[in-house]
Structure 1
Amino acid sequence: MTSFLRSDRSRPVAVWLFAVAVLVLAMVVVGGATRLTDSGLSITQWKPVSGALPPLNTQDWNDEFSRYKEIPQYAQLNKGMSLQAFKRIYWWEWGHRLLGRLVGAAFGLPFLYFLVRREIPRRLIWRCAVLFGLGGLQGLVGWWMVASGLAGRVSVAPERLATHLGLAFILLAALVWTALDAWAGAPRVKAQTPWIGYAFGLMGLIFLQILLGALVAGNDAGLVYNDWPMMNGALFPKDYAGTSLWATLAHSQAAVQLHHRLTAYLLLGVAMFVAVAARRARELAPEAKTLAVLVAGAVGLQACLGVATLMTHVPIALGMAHQVMAALVLALATTFTWRVRRL
């Protein structure tokens, strides 16, 4: 067997982790489509094992449809829906859950294989174990989110949607970082530079913007105030305030969209500033400088995509593209941060 001490890096492990990161990105895409098609509540039960099988006959389909008819979304939004229409939304949610199971298998089985062969660098074993645990937690959080829409609501709670999406993006960033560590090995010397703080700050701002975007999605706030740069012709929306601070921050359509807009402007300015400063910084490696420029360019593209998505009333294709671009922005920022920590 290969010794743990043979090397502190493993290219096969890195490829595996990058592949799982791609699958997580696919989960984000399918999850976005599930939300945009209002399909997330079509499966009203959580069966981690037996739920992998879809309805196999007419009776199974009728049973699933009957359970869906018992929740508020059907009674208030989809009353009279045909079985064929139900099948269309059902397949989106079933595909999302199946992909989640595939991600679990794609991580868990190779993890055991690499452990037995002692190919995972010793310093990364615990991190991979935590990633596996977070993946399992994501399944629980997903059901916790769905459960919020089965009684008393016609959609899932926006804050639970933000939690679910936020955890997915944490997994994506952690997978990218760990894959880079597995590919390159441990740094010979860790850099001592304020750029580490700047890079982590940029990552944090990007993640905050993703969470704010999730609140916009959860409140269907992209379907209102569809002019830009004004909001129905005004700088400040008149129905900004909710009945409480939490209602304003998490449930006011006007507030969550305004917060998402303002943070986008801040993020764009910060990303551009970091890119210009990085180009002038003598202590940064050329690769880090290039990555800083790529992050700024991706943020700019994402801002344009966001405006286009808003002004066209969130068509499914643009809504999905906006979510995918958010994942790519975070992945680039993660790579930039990882690079500046190394001399």
Structure 2
Amino acid sequence: MTSFLRSDRSRPVAVWLFVVAAFVLAMIVVGGATRLTDSGLSITEWKPVTGALPPMSAQDWNDEFALYKAIPQYAQLNHGMSLEQFKAIYWWEWSHRLLGRLVGAVFALPFAYFLLRREIPRRLIGRCVGLFALGGLQGAVGWWMVASGLSERVSVAPERLMVHLGLAFALLGALVWTALDAWNGAARQALPSPWSRGALALVGLIFFQILLGALVAGTDAGFVYNDWPLMNGSLIPNDYAGANLWATVAHSQGAVQLHHRLGAYLLTLIAIAMIWAASRSRYLTFDTRMLAITVGGSIVLQAILGVITLIFGVPIWLGMAHQIAAAIVLSLAVALAWRARRP
């Protein structure tokens, strides 16, 4: 058996964590498709165990469809939908929930195996327990989000979608960081450098921009104001203000889209400055410099993709591409923040 004291690294553990991160990325992608196809309310009950099986008979399908017909989304948006049309949205939501269960299994079973074999570095055991708890919380928050659209709304509450998506991206970033720690061992650098502090701040800004994007998705704000750089010919949309501050920040389509645009502009300027600074720096190692330039370039490309997605009215494939790119940008930024703390 491998002793906890022999090494503070384990590459098999790192590979496992990277695999879990890939599953979380897949769940984010399917979740995005579920949102874009308005499929998230097609399953109206939370059955963590028995819900793993889809309807197995015609009667089962009719029962599920009857439950869906009882919620406002069917009555107000999809009245007259056929059973076959219902099945199309049902499979998206079922696949999303199935992936959630798979993520739990892909994490829990190897975790127990590595723990019994004493292969997980001692300093990472508590962190892995935290990651598992965060994944469980994500499932509970997912149902909390869905429940907001079952009685009085025709879609989920934007702020709950923001929390749900934010937790998914936080889990992805934490998995990437922990996997890198497991692969390479503990950092030996005593004091954080300006680059390490700046890289961590950049991760925070990217995460905040993702939260703003979740509000855009939750309010369907990407389907309005599809011109750029103006918004229906104005710098500030006419419907910017809501009834109060929260209605403006979280529910106004004009406000959430403007905020997301402004966040993109800020990040793009920072990315360009970072590319310039990294290319001229004599204090960064070659791999850190290349990673910083890659992160900056990915931010610029993501901003361009966001504009294209908006102008074309958010077709499903572009909306999914934009969300995948956000996950890649965040993962690269986390890798840069991790690397900048290394000597």
Task: Give the TM-score band, short-chain normalised.
Answer: over 0.9
Q: Return the offset for 1:197.
A: 1.4
Structure 1: stretches of 5+ with no match in the other structure: none
2:126 corresponds to 1:132: no
Q: For residues 223-254 of structure 1, what are the alpha-carbon distances to aligned partners after superposition, in whole Å with 9 as ceiling and x for unaligned?
A: 00000011001111111000000000000000
Aligned partner of 1:67 in structure 2 is 67
Residue 90 of structure 2 corresponds to 90
Measured after TM superposition, the shift of residue 45 of structure 1 is 0.2
1:193-232 alignment to 2 at 5 Å?
193-232=193-232
Q: Hey, what does 2:274 align to over in structure 1? A: 274
- Counterpart of 1:342, as a letter, is R
CA apart distance, 1:191: 4.5
Cα-to-partner distance string for 1:129-183 (whole Å, 9 max, x where unaligned)? 0000000000000000000000110000000000000000000000000000000
Amino acid at match of 1:229: P
Partners of 1:298 and 1:238 in 2: CA distance: 32
The 3-state SS of whatever aligns with 1:228 is coil
Are the counterparts in 2 of residues 191 and 342 from structure 1 also a CA contact under 8 Å? no
- Give deviations 1:290-333, integer Å, cap 9, x for gaps: 11110111111111110111011100000000000000000000
Q: Does 1:309 align with 2:278?
A: no
Aligned to 1:30: 30
- How many percent of aligned residue pairs carry the same amino acid? 72
Supply the AA of the counterpart residue of 2:267: L
Preserved CA contact (<8 Å) 2:158 2:214: yes
Shift of 1:119: 0.3
Report the counterpart of residue 120 of structure 1 in structure 2.
120
Match for residue 184 of structure 2? Answer: 184
Q: Which residue of 2 aligns with 1:105?
A: 105
* Shift >3 Å, 4+ stretches: none
Contact kept? 1:33, 1:320, Cα under 8 Å: yes
Q: Name the counterpart of 2:234.
A: 234
Question: Do the aligned residues in 2 keep the contact of 1:15 with 1:179 (CA within 8 Å)?
Answer: yes
The one-letter code of the counterpart of 1:73 is: Q
Match of 1:151 in 2: 151
Find the aligned partners of 1:341 and 1:206 in 2 and give their Cα distance: 19
State the Cα deviation string for residues 101-124 of structure 1 (Å, max 9, x = none).
000000000000000000001100
Offset at 1:196? Answer: 1.7
Gaps of 5+ in 2: none
Alignment-mate amino acid for residue 129 of structure 2? A
CA deviation profile, 1:76-132 (whole Å, cap 9, x unmatched): 000010000000000000000000000000000000000000000110000000000
Q: What is the distance in 2 between the residues matched to 1:263 and 1:131?
A: 28
Please tell me whether the aligned partners of residues 189 and 341 of structure 2 are also in contact (alpha carbons under 8 angstroms). no
2:15 aligned partner:
15
Show the counterpart of 2:288: 288
Distance 1:188 1:315 in 2: 47
SS of corresponding position for 1:8: coil
In structure 2, the partner of 1:165 is 165
- More deviation, 310-319/189-198: 189-198
Q: Using the alignment, how far apart are the partners of 1:82 and 1:107 within structure 2?
A: 38
AA aligned opposite 1:144: W
Q: How many Å separate the matches in 1 of 2:336 and 2:162?
A: 25
The alignment yields a C-alpha RMSD, in angstroms, of: 0.8
8 A contact 2:275–2:297 mirrored in 1: no
Deviation track 1:41-64 (CA, whole Å, cap 9, x = no partner) reads 000000000000000001110100
AA partner of residue 187 (structure 2): P
- The one-letter amino acid paired with 2:173 is A
For normalisation by structure 2, the TM-score amounts to 0.99
CA contact (8 A) 2:220 2:253 kept: yes
Query: C-alpha distance in 2, partners of 1:192/1:54?
Result: 50
Letter paired with 2:95: G
- 1:21, 1:342 → 2: CA distance? 22
- Say if 1:141 and 1:164, in contact at 8 Å, map to a contact too: yes
Q: In 2, are the aligned partners of 1:190 and 1:342 still within 8 Å (CA)? A: no
TM-score (ref. length: structure 1): 0.99
Q: CA deviation at 1:271?
A: 1.4
Tell me the distance in 2 between the aligned counterparts of 1:115 and 1:183: 16
CA distance in 2, matches of 1:156, 1:188: 45
Partner of 1:318: 318
Question: 2 CA distance for matches of 1:97 and 1:300?
Answer: 33
